[in-house]
Amino acid sequence: MNPFFKCKKITSGIMQFKIDTKEKIVIFRLEETTLDAKMSDELVNAIGNIPGLEEKNLILDLHSLQSADESGLKAIFTVYHRQYERGLSAAIAHLNRTLTTTLSETYPEMQNIVPTESEAIDMVMMEDFERDLDLGSE
């Protein structure tokens, strides 16, 4: 196994997810088909409690998610936006077409919604590289 990659499968209350940790990225894989009001706070808390997240970029892999209500969409936006408030990046991967459209229309500032995990990794690493260049030019 790659020493820069750790995977944990976790059940938090009623929600199941996996966390993959890389050098500069945390990949949060939601293993649920529905994200509703009951699970939204749990999603925000589970992601907020990931050790080291305050120093790493976040990828939300939502391959299993089939539906989300308004509070579910807000939870996704909340964890996405928190990373940018920290000066880091976030991306959403594997979201179905309907939820991609709904999320993009509801939160147009969410630009990093991509079809694959590898594109999400490329996106957050490119933003990380751009931040490094900006810091180096000061």
CA separation for the pair 69, 50 (Å, rounded): 24
Query: Per-residue pLDDT for 9 more than 70?
Result: no
Q: Say if CB 72 and CB 36 are below 8 A apart.
A: yes
Whose structure tokens read 């499968």?
9
Domain that holds residue 125: 6-136
Is the pTM higher than 0.85?
A: yes
Residue 51 covered by a domain? yes
Residue 1 covered by a domain? no
The percentage of residues in the chain with a pLDDT greater than 70, rounded to a whole number, is: 88
Q: What is the pLDDT of residue 105?
A: 96
Residue 37 covered by a domain? yes
Residue 103 covered by a domain? yes
How many domains does the chain fold into?
Answer: 1
CATH code of 121's domain: 3.30.750.24
Residue 93 covered by a domain? yes
Tokens encoding 78:
């909340």
Q: Helices 97-106 & 70-85, crossing angle to 10 degrees? A: 60
CB within 8 Å of 20: residues ≥ 6 apart = 5, 6, 7, 26, 27, 29
Residue 53 covered by a domain? yes
Average pLDDT, the chain: 90
pLDDT, tens digit, 9 for 90 and up, residues 23-35: 999 999 999 999 9
Torsion of CA 9, 34, 39, 30, to 10 degrees: 20
Q: What is the pLDDT of residue 2?
A: 37
Residue 95 covered by a domain? yes
pLDDT, tens digit, 9 for 90 and up, residues 40-82: 999 999 999 999 999 999 999 999 999 999 999 999 999 999 9
CB within 8 Å of 8: residues ≥ 6 apart = 18, 19
Query: Per-residue pLDDT for 8 more than 80?
Result: no
